Amino acid sequence: MDETTPDVSVPLIPREVLFGNPERSAPQLSPDGKYLTWLAPDDRDVLQIWLRTSGADDDRVLTADEKRGIRSYLWTYDGRQLVYLQDVDGDENWHLFAVDVETGAVVDLTPFAGAQAQIVALDPAFPDEMLVGLNVRDRRVHDVYRVDLRSGAIELDTENPGGVIGWEADADLRVRAAMATRPDGGFDLLIRDVADPPAPWRKLLEWGPDDQGDIVTFSKDNATLFVRSSGGANALRLVAIPLDGGAPTTVAEDPHYDLGGMFIHPVTREIQAVAFYRETLQWHVLDESVADDFAALAHLRRGEFKVTGGDLEDRTWIVTHNTDDGPVHYYAYDRATRSARLLFANQPALEDLPLARMEPTSFAARDGLELHGYFTPPVRPAGPDTAPSAVLLVHGGPWGRDTWGYKPIVQWLANRGHAVLQVNFRGSAGYGKKLLNAGNREWAGKMHDDLIDGVHWLIDTGRADPERIAIMGGSYGGYAALVGLTFTPEVFAAAVDLVGPSSLVTLIRSAPPYWKPLMALFAYRVGDVETEEEFLQSRSPLFLADRIRRPLLIGQGANDPRVKQAESDQIVAAARQAGLPVEYLVYDDEGHGLARPENRMHFFARAEQFLARHLGGRAEPTGDVAGHSAREI
């Protein structure tokens, strides 16, 4: 069958199903179990928080967000208020809002223009208070404020001593631990003793720039601090540090994979289970009292599960179940009967569609380093004797990783006839510090070599037509797409970049002020803009824009605080000055990514047509996408 011949046996999944708002998602129980809440669109297709009384049929919408939609929220422990963060058009100056479930009143708890709020702590023993980080005093650092949830009053609790990027409260809701950056790019774990006024900060532990670590929680008696640390090991492991000066002990570890998820009892603070993300998410039970529960959930259905909430009496859990070829399913799990009741799926329209399976894979890089990733074959292969087109889909970060499971972009590409390869290249997180540190100073160097080695793997194994491979990604993935067309201009047939930087020099110099404490680590892992500008330019696609030979599509949020619009403007201008092909879309009400469904559907409609022109494959007609904010420049 010819590559462009429609195959009516495999339906074309509408972009609205893939990139529109979920029908319902993110269910949570109130602390007393009285209410179930979730996110769902209102009659304007804006995501809001909805509520139902348990056992009743009284669904009602609680919020009235005007535009961007609410994407996450938390119950406070008073049982009558929820809190959520919201910014303006993607500027990431988050405000913290509270909504009263009885009156419907919504209050901005942090009404400080230009400041960014961060949730620090809530605790069931202190239901009327919460701790919030705010950079009101100094835009470069966040101090901790104590918020009275009854009155809305807010007062300074802990001033940032300088360089602190993370805080931890003890079991008495006192700020007792902090993560502070060091001039060499490493981190200090700071602790202070209980006193009135609080005792001075002192260093409890340190990590160099090649190590990783962070704070997990205090024990219920405040005698032990649990941390994740790669000190003395390759991968992040769970370590218990006695605060009386005793020797730290390792609680859980894997030699190759970083400690990932943890299941912590909200009242006792006991870490009951931990997860390591290998090819898929795998749980290890530490507390035998939940062993039978986790065993039951492991057999719920094919895929991965997480316990994402529950009531404080620990009778009912909310469970999220993820697979690679279907929607996310949410369950209410009864611990007494060890039975799970389906609440809903996030996108029921996906249930009976022919979705692709994601295959974990691995291959050796050119220098012998083992790389892992995921390959997804097209749902409609080109034919028995014809290799399909393919897209190298590059994750952001870059200090993150790709994981197994349902991904709208992957399914969209596979449904349109393209194979998809996702590579956890060196510099990716999750596989221990050996792989992470192998990416130091290798932006557009060995990190890109790994991606090209992935392309060779596709070709050598017959999984892709070498003439029809594109590169695509967002953030660092967008940068990688630009690198693909400039550093290796003959490899890719086309590239799609969403909010990717084009110059490492201007990226660093235009970073938001609250990134200031992290810039020493950035200098260590990427390059020092003060002393190595020439090196950073040599790793920047902007300065090789005249080498672009293949078509390029760029999407950019006008309010992006991380990768400013200027990053895209300047490479578009350079490419056009050289007479090279580039399509450029700017979304006026977006930041670092596309939050509004109208904008997602518009961008992916354009990307779909773009890929169909340059790779072949199928495409849904573009149609009219009402309400998008794109400007074509």
Residue-wise pLDDT for 297-309, tens only, equals 999 999 999 999 9
Tell me the two tokens of residue 443: 């932006």
More confident residue, 342 or 199: 342
Residue-wise pLDDT for 47-90, tens only, equals 999 999 988 999 999 999 999 999 999 999 999 999 999 999 99
Angle separating helix axes 597-615 and 408-415, nearest 10 degrees: 40
* Residue whose entry in the numeric block shows the structure tokens 């060995």: 446
Determine, yes or no, domain membership for 135: no
Residue-wise pLDDT for 459-476, tens only, equals 999 999 999 999 999 999
Q: What is the pLDDT of residue 383?
A: 57
Catalytic site residue 560?
Answer: yes
Q: CA dist 220 to 79, 239, 513, Å?
A: 22, 16, 36
Tell me the two tokens of residue 525: 């892992």
Cβ atoms < 10 Å from Cβ of 320: 18
Whole-number Å distance between alpha carbons of 603 and 613: 16
- Res. 349: pLDDT tops 90: yes
Domains contained in the chain, number: 1
Whole-number Å distance between alpha carbons of 488 and 4: 28
Residue-wise pLDDT for 613-630, tens only, equals 999 999 998 877 888 989
Q: What is the pLDDT of residue 195?
A: 76
Compute the average pLDDT of residues 501-521.
97
Mention every residue, 6+ apart, whose C-beta is less than 8 A from residue 515: 522
Q: What is the pLDDT of residue 1?
A: 32
Whole-number Å distance between alpha carbons of 246 and 244: 6
Annotated catalytic residue within 465, 560, 628, 629: 560
* Residue whose entry in the numeric block shows the structure tokens 């690198």: 483
More confident residue, 418 or 380: 418
- Res. 375: pLDDT tops 60: yes
Q: DSSP secondary-structure letter at 426?
A: T
* pLDDT cut 70: percent of the chain above it: 98
- Res. 40: pLDDT tops 60: yes
- Cis check: omega of the bond before 11, within 30 degrees of 0: no
Whole-number Å distance between alpha carbons of 208 and 198: 28
Catalytic site residue 475?
Answer: yes
Compute the average pLDDT of residues 277-283.
97
Q: Cα dihedral sign for 374, 378, 384, 387?
A: negative
From 148-152, 252-256, 442-446, 579-583, the region with the lowest mean pLDDT: 579-583
Length of the chain: 633
Q: What is the pLDDT of residue 527?
A: 98
Determine, yes or no, domain membership for 203: no
* Domain CATH number, residue 593: 3.40.50.1820
Determine, yes or no, domain membership for 289: no
Q: What is the pLDDT of residue 198?
A: 83
Instruction: Tell me which long-range contacts 169-173 makes (C-beta under 8 A, separation of at least 24).
Output: 169/120, 169/121, 169/123, 169/131, 169/218, 170/218, 170/222, 171/123, 171/125, 171/218, 171/219, 171/220, 171/221, 171/222, 171/269, 172/125, 172/222, 173/121, 173/123, 173/125, 173/126, 173/129, 173/131
Determine, yes or no, domain membership for 278: no
Angle separating helix axes 476-487 and 446-460, nearest 10 degrees: 80
Whole-number Å distance between alpha carbons of 573 and 161: 43
Whole-number Å distance between alpha carbons of 39 and 381: 36
Annotated catalytic residue within 389, 428, 475, 503: 475
Cβ atoms < 10 Å from Cβ of 105: 10
Confidence class for position 508, pLDDT limits 50, 70, 90: very high
Residue-wise pLDDT for 475-498, tens only, equals 999 999 999 999 999 999 999 999
- Res. 9: pLDDT tops 80: no
Annotated catalytic residue within 592, 602, 614, 628: 592
- Res. 318: pLDDT tops 50: yes
- Phi/psi at 368 (nearest 5 deg)? 95, -10
CA 622-623-627 angle, to 5 degrees, is 110
Compute the average pLDDT of residues 593-613.
97
Confidence class for position 448, pLDDT limits 50, 70, 90: very high
- Res. 449: pLDDT tops 80: yes
Determine, yes or no, domain membership for 514: yes
Q: What is the pLDDT of residue 194?
A: 87
pTM of the full structure: 0.96
- Cis check: omega of the bond before 388, within 30 degrees of 0: no
Determine, yes or no, domain membership for 592: yes
* pLDDT cut 90: percent of the chain above it: 94
Determine, yes or no, domain membership for 30: no
List the beta bridge partners of residue 340: 333
β-pairing verdict for 74-75 and 60-61: unpaired
Mention every residue, 6+ apart, whose C-beta is less than 8 A from residue 270: 220, 264, 287
What is the Cα Rg of the chain in Å?
25
Mention every residue, 6+ apart, whose C-beta is less than 8 A from residue 154: 109, 110, 132, 145, 146, 147, 148
Question: What integer best gives the mean pLDDT of the chain?
Answer: 95
**Do the beta carbons of residue 93 and residue 118 sit within 8 Å?**
no
- Cis check: omega of the bond before 354, within 30 degrees of 0: no
- Res. 6: pLDDT tops 50: no
Q: Estimate the share of the chain in helix, then strand, then coil, as percent rounded to the nearest 5.
A: 20, 30, 50
433-455 in b/e form (b: 16+ CB < 10 A) is bebbbbbbbbbbbbbbbbbbbbb
Determine, yes or no, domain membership for 72: no
Q: Which domain holds residue 397?
A: 359-632
Catalytic site residue 592?
Answer: yes
